[in-house]
Amino acid sequence: MSILMLDKLVPEHIQNFEPYFPSKPDTVLMSLFGVETLYRLNNNENALGPPPGVHRVIDDFVPDMVPVYPNGDCFFLKEKLAFKFNKSPDQFLVGNGSCEVISSVIKAFCMKGDNIITADKTFAVYEWVARFSGVEVKLIPLKDFRFDPDAMLDAMDEMTKIIFICNPNNPTGTYWDMDTMTRFLKAVDQRCIVVIDEAYFEYVDKKDYPDAMQLMETFSNVVAFRTFSKMYALAALRIGYLCSSPDVVDMVRRTHIVYSVNTPAQQAAAAAITDDTDFIAATRKMVKDARDLLCPFFDDLGLSYLSGQGNYIMVRTPISDTLLYRMLMKQGIMVRTMTGFRFPNWIRISLVQQPVMTAFVNAFQEVISSVSD
């Protein structure tokens, strides 16, 4: 029998790509770290849980519905989105989380030799998907913790197919205002697709914050990404979507897997965006209260932090972020280390209810005191 030579079968860009290994389940982590409670401050989940309408959908989902395929095109959800945002249903494409639509967009527009442009310190999935698709990635350093529009424009060439802008940026919380975004889109001049990832759109309460859904009326190369995982707390259901001009969506649809969004996710998402005003207001208040607690706390410790938009805050730590993670985990607090975002010795903390924030403050204080001794 011949010998399998995998290194000759697998494309080089796949051999060079490193798989992502997600964290272990909470129960396993709790057992390993010897804690009875684990506060999740690592994934920017909405600790209030989903809006009330979603509870009803989940309660009404009965086993008899399980054998039936979901609607392959998210028919009712797209109608709902179209109504809410004053668009047509064919401007939406729903995916199994935003990660799936990232993949679909890259597959639709890029081939070997093409490149994408994004920042070096932002959501990693744009970079990952491009790399394992064999597409060159141009990473532009942040400038003052913000995407740098001029450097991104300078990096463009004839092979640039997509620019990814995370607005507000995860993890810095910085954003481009309307002027910056408009000037940028004019300068791009339709030469490539511009993805504006608005995963934290509903958390932003700033008058000068641009809405990609509106911008695409003027700039047909704009693709907006939104998710139900952050504000609407449907992370376990995995559902996100993109919105763009019908022609762009038609192209992306060709590479998009149908039936990837399950029925409860479609129904819950539709329920979530129905009458969501009070829910969003309550969530924003929770985030503000948490921010108001943490900022003075970090000030007192003399630590640098970034408190921008979104339901998270970043702080620079006096010890390695990965050691701090382990020490906080021993106290039942799970934060996100930022080395993987190329911010060594920073952590990102999700902003949730006061009792949990207080538990974080106490644990953080204790850990920092112990290493200072």
Closest approach, Cβ 309 to another protein, in A, equals 24
Q: Which is nearer to another protein, 22 or 63 (CB)?
A: 22
Q: State which residue, 220 or 339, has the beta carbon closest to another protein.
A: 339
Q: How far is the CB of 204 from another protein (least distance, A)?
A: 27
For residues 369 and 306, is the Cβ–Cβ distance under 8 A? no
- Smallest separation, CB 226 to another protein (Å): 25
Of 269 and 347, CB closest to another protein? 347
Interacting residues with another protein (CB under 8 A): 1-3, 5, 18-19, 23-24, 28-29, 32-33, 120, 124, 127, 318-320, 322-323, 325-327, 329-330, 336-337, 339-342, 344-345
Strands 333-337 and 346-350: antiparallel
Smallest distance from another protein to CB 88, Å: 39
Taking the complex as a whole, the smallest distance from the CB of residue 347 to another protein amounts, in Å, to: 10
> Where are the strands (E) in 113-236, listed by range?
115-119, 136-140, 160-166, 193-197, 222-227
**Alpha carbons 340 and 327: distance in angstroms, whole number:** 18
Which C-beta is closer to another protein: that of 270 or that of 329?
A: 329
Distance, in Å, from the CA atom of 126 to the CA atom of 211, rounded to the nearest integer, reads 21
For another protein, which is the closer residue by CB, 134 or 344? Answer: 344
Sheet with 193-197: list strands edge to edge.
92-95, 240-243, 222-227, 193-197, 160-166, 115-119, 136-140
Closest approach of another protein to the CB of residue 290, in Å:
22
Q: Which is nearer to another protein, 160 or 337 (CB)?
A: 337
Q: How many residues does the chain have?
A: 373
Kindly write down the DSSP assignment for every residue of 284-336, as one continuous string. HHHHHHHHHHHHHHHHHHT--EE--SSSEEEEE-SS-HHHHHHHHHTTTEEEE
